[in-house]
Amino acid sequence: MEIRLDGKKALITGGTRGIGRAISIALASAGAEIAINYHSNDNCAKEILKEITDMGVKAELIKGDASDFQFGQTLVKRASESLGGLDILINNAAISHNTPFLMLEPEEWLSAVNINVNALYSVSHPVLKYMVKQKNQGKILNITSICGVRPVAAVPVHYAMTKAAINAFTYTLSKEVGRYGITVNAIAPGLIETDFAKNLPDARSADFKKFCPMGRIGKPEEVADLAVFMLSDKNSYMTGETVIIGGGL
């Protein structure tokens, strides 16, 4: 079954690396025009912009901190004006430190809360106002984590806490905006081949593979394929759900 997103206008935060990069490429491959927010890595941003525009798909890079409310409003305004509308928002901006709770500094805690949780408000709030005003039956997809749904050994406490908050945000927001025809869902990946996984100690990676029924770490493209379906017109009745893609964990 081929899934297309032709004519759709999408905004993604944290869209130049890891899962975000894979989703950006998958959306563009399915025909969606896309505004990609990123925080700091200009080289990664330029690489993905070239890859998407080489497909003949319109794309826009917007640099800035998605957790900042003022920037969030600017981001949404620029994205909607550049693309000529907004049908889709993917909240993907995230950070994690592999730090045990008893060694965690306040700065690391606050950083995780700001980027993983506050960015949900900073970007979703103006996007929803735009969608409601334009009577746009849009879709919001939040990228969370399996550790926010069920216990996973050796996951940092602050990371799991913020991801659980995203799940609650997804469910409750869907109840509020469903009357406007807007859906809000989430994907909760297990361990995926990203910088986070690469920086894990070998022993922890080995433990994961041992207890994961699939016996391997997931690929960003596998998450992206699911995202494309969830954001397509084929997925018209699901809302408030957090879908796990974790190799059976």
Whether residue 2 lies inside any domain: the answer is no
pLDDT band of 196, cuts 50, 70, 90: low
Summarize the confidence of residues 160-165 as an average pLDDT.
94
Is a pLDDT exceeding 70 seen at residue 199? no
The string of pLDDT tens digits covering residues 77-127 is 999 999 999 999 999 999 877 888 899 999 999 999 999 999 999 999 999
Range of the domain at 172: 9-245
List the CATH number of the domain containing 119: 3.40.50.720
Going by pLDDT thresholds of 50, 70 and 90, the confidence category of residue 193 is confident
In the chain, % of residues over pLDDT 90: 77
Query: Is 0.85 topped by the overall pTM?
Result: yes
For the cut 90, the answer to whether the pLDDT of residue 150 exceeds it is no
**Given 38, 121, 130, 159, the catalytic residue:** 159
- What rounded mean pLDDT belongs to the chain? 92
Catalytic: 180? Answer: no
Residue 23 lies in a domain: yes
Q: Which of 26, 21, 67, 23 is nearest to 41 (CA)?
A: 21
Residue 69, domain member (yes or no): yes
Considering the domain boundaries, does residue 3 fall inside one? no
Q: Is residue 149 part of a domain?
A: yes
Give the model's pLDDT for residue 208. Answer: 74
Give the count of domains, the chain.
1
User: Looking at the predicted structure, is the pLDDT value of residue 203 above 80?
Assistant: no
Strand order in the sheet with 183-189: 59-63, 33-38, 9-13, 88-91, 139-143, 183-189, 242-245
Residue 4 lies in a domain: no
If pLDDT is split at 50, 70 and 90, which confidence band does 160 have? very high
Alpha helix positions (H), 95-143: 106-113, 119-133
Average pLDDT over residues 138-162: 89
In a domain, 168, yes or no: yes
Element (H, E) at 144: none
Neighbours of 85 (CB within 10 A): 17
Please, are residues 88 and 32 in contact by the beta-carbon 8 Å criterion? yes
The residue-averaged pLDDT of 178-202 equals 85
Residue 41 resides in a domain? yes
Strand 242-245 to 59-63 pairing = unpaired
